[in-house]
Chain A
């Protein structure tokens, strides 16, 4: 046996280095990378034959997983290689494994251990090589080759270096290969989930379609025929009967309003969501204009300073301002004078926007009901409404990843706070 420190021209090694570098840069599947490396050893080092051996899972013996050869003369050897399983220390490859070092020998230097698989094929004086592909003291494989050229004096360090470069590369690929598998699995699960979600959304759409179409039409009949009754039989109807019919019609319209609000609420989750930088001052002003359209003089009770911008969907955030301002105007309508204050406060990375009024407020023990659909904290005769507005508002804020909450006391006004974007983890 011979440690490889003989003298030779470095140029084949340089070529090998260049080719291997190029192969590694291509990021092929590991098997392809090794095949390419073996192939480049045939061309740059002039090897006749190259094989890659891998330890079995119990690290007991080696199995030949890949071979490359010049010409077809090696086919028979390939089969013999694939049938053999040298243990640690057996044959050249087994010794390179147990020593974790490159080895080379010729028939002449050591006929006893020269792999007899090659004996029939090779001329006297041919060299057999084996070097480990290793990373962090773990042997991933052994590269074996046969060359008729004599070794160079830098062959030992060169094979060591090449084995380490390949080992490092392959172990890294293994890790990223594992995580690639994990990512594929996660993607598959995510796809399953989103298909289930799409299915649920489709069901919801057909549901709200039915609500939109089928629930409204009987209401129209109730309202219409009540009106027809009043028109056609006005003379026969006592005053009390007319009052009752008025109630029927008012309730019918209220139910129509409830259905419309519920639809608006359910459509929110399907509405397109286009987050972008949003001028919150402009948005609040425009919402205020709409909220006071019926009573423009009431806008004077609202103080709206300049607000920091937010990042979100402008159309949806405008609905938030509209709802909060409408509520503030409604519940402070009986104060003399009403006072509504819009503010924005920076708390750490967050901007907290708020709308405060001096209206009737509410008892904080009912605060958990505020954002529920059809939940109302005031009697309908006191303050009209369907109880959907704040549910819509909360859904919009949640869709942005923000939070909404309220502080209030009965007869001492209410303040609604919201953030638009997710807060810091702290």
Chain B
């Protein structure tokens, strides 16, 4: 139930402002300078690879190795994505096939 439109609006506002502040933080700190510090430039070059690896772990965070239905679909579909991508290098194919495989596994095999 929608309780108070005004309070809901305030919650939306606070969330929006905080999210923008978080995203803008590095720019507010380093963006104003003429020269971006060397350490930040270095991080700009190497950090993306780390971040993407952490994000993959983030996506798989709810895998539970105690129950096969809680890890097999992600693992199988994940291997398919990586394998297809190394082989064909086609982003849409890798993502499409991996997602369809995952959906079939969770909907039909490991229900």
A and B found bound together: no
Chain A interface residues (CB < 8 Å from chain B): none
Chain B interface residues (CB < 8 Å from chain A): none
